[in-house]
Amino acid sequence: MPILKSAIKKLKQDKKRTAVNKVYRENLRQAVKQARKEKTAKAVRLAYSALDKAAKQKVIHKNKAARLKSRLMKLIK
């Protein structure tokens, strides 16, 4: 366990951020999985939205979001 006051605060912040990031990551995974399964424009649009939100929050890197979006687009063409 941390002893320094700043380390204790950092631990609290990390727990909060982890919880928030987990929500974004789970939504992202579900949306991408659904898009791959259904291969419809609507499902891909929802996955795009989830990818953009995750990248905006820096849960995933913007280049990873772009790569996944590109691969999803290939599915519906």
Number of folded domains that form the chain: 1
pTM of the predicted protein model: 0.85
Q: What is the CATH number of the domain that holds 22?
A: 1.20.58.110
Q: Rounded to whole angstroms, how far apart are CA atoms 32 and 48?
A: 8
> What is the domain extent for residue 61?
5-76
Q: Rounded to whole angstroms, how far apart are CA atoms 16 and 22?
A: 10
Closest alpha carbon to 75 in 45, 41, 39: 39
At 30-73, the pLDDT tens digits run 999 999 999 999 999 999 999 999 999 999 999 999 999 999 99
